[in-house]
Structure formats: structure tokens, C-alpha cells
Chains A and B, each alone.
Chain A
Amino acid sequence: AQSVTQLDSHVSVSEGTPVLLRCNYSSSYSPSLFWYVQHPNKGLQLLLKYTSAATLVKGINGFEAEFKKSETSFHLTKPSAHMSDAAEYFCVVSDEFGGFKTIFGAGTRLFVKA
């Protein structure tokens, strides 16, 4: 069965410094992996997705993530944090073996200090 572990429940960075949000997954098959962002009182928005093409995936707002099969990781990064990046981030896994069911991690709340 698939599972997702987001290693940090909270991450705090200063504006202009790099962001790293960590995600490890478990999948019995070739997984698809996603990062979604949820701003307060707003719906979930897709940041980026990995679907077995290039292992380095670029998303919106300067975010990117690298799929590392050997480490079963899909960490989200951004070179320079902006105040508007403060939100909840979810790592998500899906695979055909799991019947296309999508499994969300518990989320990482990102705080950005001025």
C-alpha cells in the first residue's frame, strides 16, 4: 500500500532564504507524486507533479522537487522564500497498484519571517 511521510510538521525560514520541505513515500509500484499548497481559507492548489518523466520537476512560483527512487524521497525546494509562500504544503502519492487512490501526507506548515 502507498504511504507518505512528511518529516516536518512545521518549517520556519526567513524571507529570501532557501526552503526545504521533506517528503518520503512508500509505493509498491511506479508512483506519481504531487505537491499541493493550501493557503488559509483557500482551496488546494497543485504546485508540481512527477509522473515518471524527468526526475527534477519544476512547478509554479519557483518551486521544484526531485524524485529520488533510491531514497524514496520527493523533497520540495525553493531557492528564496517569499512572504506569500507561507501556507500548508502536502505531499501526495498515487499509483495504479493502489487503484489510483491518492494518499496525502499530514502536511508541513511553512512560516516565513520578514
Chain B
Amino acid sequence: GAGVSQTPSNKVTEKGKYVELRCDPISGHTALYWYRQSLGQGPEFLIYFQGTGAADDSGLPNDRFFAVRPEGSVSTLKIQRTERGDSAVYLCASSLWAGSTDTQYFGPGTRLTVL
């Protein structure tokens, strides 16, 4: 079956611009997670959704970052006024439920480069 997909695979933008990153989870998965992975680091938790609601957004670095999941499936991570420090690979994962024991299935990521 289809796994988690993310679009675009690569995004190059200029400092100050707005970007949207999309995640399509595995069908039927109610939980969706966003992570950011900088070069040489482990993925850093940003936010997770259970259904349509953001259950924990404590990892979002500041108010320039926002994520939505309006119908409980596809999610969009939105970054306003991008900065060079936002350059990273943004990973999305989904799981059947948002439980500590549930396996998360990861997408291939979107590589964001801010010039």
C-alpha cells in the first residue's frame, strides 16, 4: 500500500518568503507528526495531530511556524518570513493512533533551503 508522501521533495526559497510543505499520511492513520532534521542531527519534534486537532505543538520554534490538518488527513506545515536557519529536512510521519507505543511511519521528507 501507499506510504507517507511529502511534497515537494525539494524547496528552495529566498529569505523572507512564505512556504507550504504538504504531507499525505497513510490512509486510516489518525495521528500525524511533523519533525525537522538539521544536518548531522536527529529529527526534532515540531507538532503532532490527533485527527484534526493539534494535540501538542510545543516543538514549533516560534510563531512563524504553523500547521493545519483540516479534514484529519492531509497536513500542511506553513512557514512565514523564512530565515536561513529554517533550512533543514522536514519530515512527516503518521501512525494509527497517537499512543506512545504506536509505530510511526515516515515520509521521505522535504528538503527546504532558504537562501
Contact = CB atoms under 8 A, between A and B. Distances in A.
B42 A96 contact: no
B75 to A, nearest CB: 16
Given A32-B101, A94-B100, A43 B106 contact: yes
B91 A102 contact: no
B91 A106 contact: no
Interface residues of B, number: 28
10 contacts: A32-B101, A43-B91, A43-B108, A43-B109, A44-B91, A45-B106, A95-B100, A101-B58, A102-B104, A104-B45
A96 B4 CA distance: 24
Which secondary structure dominates where chain B touches chain A?
loop
A105 B41 CA distance: 8
A100 B109 contact: no
Contact of B42 (A32, A95, A98, A106): A106
Nearest to A42: B108
Interface in B58-115: 58-59, 91, 93, 98-101, 103-109
